[in-house]
A and B are shown apart, each in its own frame.
Chain A
């Protein structure tokens, strides 16, 4: 058995942005949320999650704030910026186009 379902290249950004579109979350919660919603199919590795978060922050699509977590400990909460919101729309569009195209190819054969 290989690694549990590696994320398709480039889709992690989309998933993070989508997860944050509802409410601000810290890194741990983002990973958990993706795992739950996908019924444990999508496993986000820490090794890719944190570099991705820092990259998105550098690009200005998400912003970070230190807040108290539900356990009462300081945690870094990420939230979507306006730029991030439109980026999410763009990425959603392109993902839909891509997956639809893949579906067509797969079904036709």
Chain B
């Protein structure tokens, strides 16, 4: 019966009419019998019958599925009303689509990167362990492989712990094929079982393979397995050549396994990455992942490891061996740098969505005003207030749904774009739309419909019927309360816009600071390119020196090359390594972490090639090769920090570039360069790369100052390299400008996105302001006409309207400035060279908002002062 009612509504309606008609006829017949005239009998029957429409409605309301009927009617009605004003509907839907689309996109990313658990077994139980030096600010120091070995052997609080380290920049040439540089990692044999990862083919490492002198074995990641070996699983058990050494392939990792970075293409066992001498407690290299026995056991287990570390520290006093061990959940470790910018972006799109809602709400209030009479008449004819609110809500629901559908499409595209263009975003490969994202989108649509529709719907139906019907068109001053509502919405909109503008301004200024931060060297027309000499082939200092020198000579003679030099890592390209040292001339101090400097290796031509000034002494010369001399060059910061008021040239430094500390003489002081953009200048010490130590000096970055477009030199230089050694690949071919760009890409990204959201919001606010003022002017045409007829000047009318428009702007501005200051404090940690209360940013944003507001209100104000009093008064 109930289901049938769903499909037989039309015939049922006809029958209901028939039934009621029959009743009426019976009544008429009875009236005639009692002696009335037929016409009189009919009227009497109708009077008795009452409101037939209402009766029909009530009878129908007892049918099942009636709510669906009502919803369908509301939807039809809403769609018709929206189609009658296509311009309004188009703008409203577009505004909603932008807001909903941006919010859904960001949520997709936040959900995938921050919220979804890591793809490992019981990921909640995985933690990362780090060494912690009590003297330093940064709590998470990578772990010495020797410490890891002791922790694992001597403590039992964790279920198990594994370790891995970068094996970056190592060169891999596969036999008979093109040389290729792959990034690798060295993982302890149990790392994959700690994570709960099973190889697709073959096996993981055995304990026997994870020790010094073991046979060389390698596991391939899925991407290399596909790209290099076209997914041929017979590669398992065969040998590939890496760094001129044969490695046996033991297994292939699954496609989803991209930890710690999709760049990692090969895994080898952890221990063989080191030399036995490098297994020292003061040699920090490894990342340690531990699995908790259960969630409560973490603190106790950590305490045990930390106590052991303190013993190791006490046994190695005077060396950089940390006192404590700290721990953090693995998911936090993976997303660390992305978290704050993502939350900031999410908050920014949230603000934008709110502004979009307020704007649509504002537009709906304006429409509500125009339809006040219609609503009042329908109320008088028996439409209940609830019914009328429901109907208006359906309209905003339709707008939100259309906007949501459009926004969903936009967001799919935007998410794809964001995931591919946001470099340094961890877990970017995990980004996808899932159930909770869809649920989020639906919830957002309903929420926006409610936010945008409720205020206008309640306000436009609230007025007493009589009042609305009596409101004549001549009502001077118009509906004050509705204008107040719109102004309040506008104030909120402007306040939010100001908050967004200020945050965007701060982020953008930080980015500009980073982008233009002085690296301490020439960055225009400089090409950099890395190469590494395989230790197996270039096993003596003479061979390494011969290659470096021959290459420098060839490159320097190329046309278009002004200067060339070698450095172990270019400025701005990141941290390389650091070392503690002592100064023999200074009175002996206790063990201290204070004497620590970055170590680099350079050739004599490097400093002049990059325009790094020589501040004292001299640079290296031809004597400083093959370990014949013990000379170093220090940076200005080094001199200031450790030789205050002394001349450092001729003094000595006892420092370890490789495993043992040796005494070096300082022969020169050069200007500072920055190793990591955004980080403060650090004391740096240079050794000659032409010493040619096969372990220290075989990986080099060639820097070339060009007289021509620098990238055009890449091919000629690579040709020179392969002329010297045809198996030698080059990698990271970049200009200095590109290095700076890559280092600031993430900041550039978040700053540009927030700025885009802020500008969009500014536009929305301008549209809102324009809308409110136009509406007010239309409402007050007759009032203005009367004022002018009584002698008001046009300038006064202009002032009147402008003041009216600027009041909500000013109030919003004040609220927004306070909010912006708060937001600035919240994002303090990602600001660089900018204070949260940066006056320049605040001033710029206030001026740009003021200008936009002035333009948006000028148009209606000008229209108001052009009103002809005679016409305005006649128009009534």
Contact = CB atoms under 8 A, between A and B. Distances in A.
Interface of A: 26-28, 45-47, 50-55, 58, 60, 66, 69, 71, 73-76
5 contacts: A27-B19, A27-B22, A54-B62, A58-B63, A69-B22
A73 B25 contact: yes
B30 to A, nearest CB: 9
Interface in B336-390: none
B824 to A, nearest CB: 63
B29 A76 contact: no
A52 B61 CA distance: 11
A77 to B, nearest CB: 10
B20 A28 contact: no
A73 B22 contact: yes
Given A46-B20, A46-B50, A76-B18, 10 more contacts: A26-B19, A28-B22, A28-B27, A47-B50, A51-B55, A51-B58, A54-B16, A54-B60, A54-B63, A58-B1
Contacts of A28: 22-23, 26-27
Interface in B1-46: 1-2, 5, 15-16, 18-20, 22-23, 25-27, 29
B259 interface: no
Given A73-B22, A76-B18, A47 B55 contact: yes
B18 A74 contact: yes
Nearest to A55: B62
A69 to B, nearest CB: 7
A58 B62 contact: yes
A51 B59 contact: yes
A28 B49 CA distance: 12
Chain B interface residue number, banded: 20 to 34
B54 interface: yes
B24 to A, nearest CB: 9
Contacts of B51: 47
Contacts of A54: 16, 59-60, 62-63
A51 B61 contact: yes
Most buried by B among A27, A52, A54, A66: A54
Which secondary structure characterizes the binding site on chain B?
Answer: helix
B726 interface: no
Contacts of A60: 1
Contacts of A55: 62
A47 B54 contact: yes
B59 A76 contact: no
A52 B55 CA distance: 11
B64 interface: yes
A73 B2 CA distance: 29
B311 to A, nearest CB: 82
A62 to B, nearest CB: 12
A76 B63 contact: no
A71 B25 CA distance: 11
B62 A76 contact: no
A51 B62 contact: yes
A66 to B, nearest CB: 8
Interface string B837-861: 0000000000000000000000000
B19 to A, nearest CB: 5
A50 B20 contact: yes
A75 B21 CA distance: 10
Most buried by A among B26, B48, B50, B64: B26
A13 to B, nearest CB: 12
A27 B62 contact: no
A53 B51 CA distance: 18
